[in-house]
Amino acid sequence: MLVGHHTRVDLFTRLSEADALASGYIFFGQAQVGKKTFAESLGHYLEGRIFEPQPHILQETLLVQPKNESIGIDTARKIKAYLSETPIASSKRMVIIDNAEALTLQAENALLKISEESPKGTLLIFIVASPEALLGTLASRLQKIYFGPVSDKDLEKLITKKDLSVTKKKEFITMAGGSPGRLVELLEDKNGIEKIAEEILTASKETRKKLVKEYLDNEESPLALLDALLLVSFAAPKKQTKIISGILKAKRGFSTLNLNPRLQLENIFS
């Protein structure tokens, strides 16, 4: 489900209908805000005139994602070969490169050449947190589209659970910070993170350290636990102001200063 980004849907619909799409774009913005979903939805619109994710596989779109934390030159060569074929089911043959920060320098240089010599009817979309993650020469050839946080009203559409109170819904939406993907994770709580957060907050100081270490040793997401700790702290009858302050500081350090998330999490209970 594509949530929010209505103005961008309108823009790309108009560009598509006017056959005025650029040959390459950078979709950038915060994590889990819907950049990849939007790109795939564009592919479905080009093939079937429905700007939404669909259950069937796109015939003219190649999704590229990192393998072993990188995207190398061999993948760049496959992209070149893919784009050299003439589209049949769509007006565009499209490649979506998700987490394009993982491109090696060699792969980026190859894609720069591809972007300079891209055949008619091709479309390259790079998905990154920031355009600065790509080579300046490559980024300069691509049109940049920023994806900001989704509105609370749009996020509410994702909350289908009937047993959630209004207060709880607002808490989840606040924790999501405008990211539909993050809200889904919080709602599903696949790993029982809220329960772990409750155990940590109600334990003694020494036990808290042990529980946090066990969680991190299992290679779980520090950010997910920070969100769960914040959610549980706010919901508690007596808010733990010091801990809440520490969690907020850790989240800021993790998201804006690129500080080590494990250390940030451990420092809250030191």
Query: So what's the pLDDT on residue 74?
Result: 95
Highest mean pLDDT among 77-91, 182-196, 253-267: 77-91
For residue 190, the Cα-to-chain-centroid distance in whole angstroms is 18
Instruction: From residue 234, give the alpha-carbon distance in Å to each of 154, 239, 247.
Output: 23, 6, 11
- Asked if residue 210 lies in contact with residue 220, where contact means CB atoms within 8 angstroms, the answer is no
- Whole-model pTM: value is 0.73
Alpha helices in the chain (DSSP H): 6-17, 35-48, 73-83, 105-116, 136-139, 152-155, 166-176, 180-188, 193-202, 205-217, 222-235, 241-256, 261-268
- Residue 76 — pLDDT band, cuts 50, 70, 90? very high
Per-domain boundaries in the chain? 6-147, 152-268
Average pLDDT of the residues of the chain: 84
Please report, for residues 13, 49, 52, 115, the alpha-carbon distance to residue 16 in angstroms, rounded to integers and kept in the order given: 5, 10, 15, 19
Mean pLDDT of 119-144: 93
Q: Tell me, what's the pLDDT at 228?
A: 76
Q: What is the pLDDT of residue 114?
A: 94
- From 173, 167, 183, 171, select the one nearest 152 (Cα to Cα): 173
Q: What is the pLDDT of residue 269?
A: 67
Instruction: Say what the pLDDT of residue 96 is.
Output: 97
Label the pairing between strands 143-147 and 61-64.
Answer: unpaired
Residue 257 above 70 pLDDT? Answer: no
pLDDT > 80? residue 221: no
What is the arithmetic mean of pLDDT over 213-239?
69
1 in Cβ contact with 52 (< 8 Å): yes
Most confident of 91-95, 119-123, 167-171, 206-210: 91-95
Please report the DSSP string for 112-171 in residue order: HHHHHTPPTTEEEEEEES-GGGS-HHHHTTSEEEEE-PPPHHHHGGG---TT--HHHHHH
User: Do the beta carbons of residue 183 and residue 158 sit within 8 Å?
Assistant: yes
Answer with the residue of higher pLDDT: 236 or 59.
Answer: 59
Q: Does domain 6-147 have CATH number 3.40.50.1360?
A: no
Distance (Å, rounded) from C-alpha 190 to C-alpha 174?
19
Residue 69 structure tokens: 């934390």
Using pLDDT thresholds of 50, 70 and 90, give the confidence band for residue 17: very high
CB 216 within 8 A of CB 206: no
Check residue 35 and give its pLDDT: 95
Q: What is the pLDDT of residues 92-124, one digit of tens each?
A: 999 999 999 999 999 999 999 999 988 889 999
State yes or no: pLDDT of 58 exceeds 80: yes
Is the pLDDT confidence value at 204 over 70?
Answer: yes
pLDDT at 260: 65
User: What are the structure tokens assigned to 8, written together?
Assistant: 């961008």
Give me the pLDDT at residue 189, please: 65
Residues 76, 104: Cα–Cα separation, whole Å: 10
Is pLDDT at 30 greater than 90 in this prediction?
no
From CA 124, how far away is CA 108, in angstroms rounded?
A: 13
CA 142/CA 38 separation, integer angstroms = 17
**C-alpha torsion 73→74→76→81, nearest 10:** 150
